[in-house]
Amino acid sequence: MHTIAQVDQYIINSAAFAIPILDHLRNLVHKADARIEEKIKWGMPFFDFKGTVCHMASFKNHCAFGFWKGSLMQDEYGIFKEHSEAMGLLGKIKSFDDLPPDEILIAYIQQAIQLNEDNVKLPPKTKATEKKELVIPEYFMEALQEDPEALTVFQNFSPSNKKDYVLWLDEAKTEATRIKRLETTLAWLAEGKTRMWKYKK
């Protein structure tokens, strides 16, 4: 196996629950193909052969495992959780129960290697031409309906000014913070202020 000490260290430094999971994933990758080499990129273990094949990472409460060319792979067994908030394609891995069977994961790793061997490239990233429609959270809409002044100002704002407020509310870590921010938002809107009014000269 082409292993490196930095990946050993990464695994040892991970949370106790993650160590056996990362160890297992690493072994599966090398079992899938003995030619795989390890690297640390962006602070996490990557596995390469003729280009990047896959990577893994550990966080405080979960691990992640992903394929570099996952978007080009055939997800025959439906193991990819594309809409997961976790990094990687297998969702949040908190225990061995969250992993697909070994033989399936090995088959996927081999499929990813084959893409590299066949020199299949990821399509170039294109800038989205269509602007994503801004989704206003329901609780925010309800609060605006009860405050006609704030609603009028908000409706007349540019898309970027609306987005500033929506993101600020969405990024609140707790319900208490969100409520406080909502109150501030309504007060500022009633005064015709944008979210960034303090920073504008």
| Angle, alpha carbons 144-155-142 (nearest 5°) | 20
**Per-residue pLDDT reduced to its tens digit, 18-53:** 999 999 999 999 999 999 999 998 888 999 999 999
Among residues 65, 69, 97, the alpha carbon closest in space to that of 84 is found at: 65
Residue 166 predicted with pLDDT over 80: yes
Residue 83 predicted with pLDDT over 70: no
Confidence at residue 21, expressed as pLDDT on a 0 to 100 scale:
97
Q: How many CA atoms does the CB half-sphere of 164 hold within 13 Å?
A: 14
Average of pLDDT values for 142-155? 89
As a whole number of angstroms, the distance between CA 185 and CA 183 comes to 5
Cβ(28)–Cβ(102) below 8 Å: yes
- Mean per-residue pLDDT of the chain: 89
Residue 85 predicted with pLDDT over 70: no
* Proportion of the chain above pLDDT 90, given as a percent: 59
Helix axes 148-156, 138-145, angle to 10 degrees: 120
**Per-residue pLDDT reduced to its tens digit, 44-78:** 899 999 999 999 998 888 998 999 999 899 998 99
Q: How confident is residue 129, by pLDDT bands cut at 50, 70 and 90?
A: very low
Residue 86 predicted with pLDDT over 70: no
Average of pLDDT values for 111-130? 81
Give buried/exposed letters for 91-108 (b at 16+ CB in 10 A, else e): bbbeeeeebbeeeebbeb
Domains of the chain: 5-117 (3.90.1150.200), 138-195 (no CATH)
Residue 80 one-letter amino acid: F
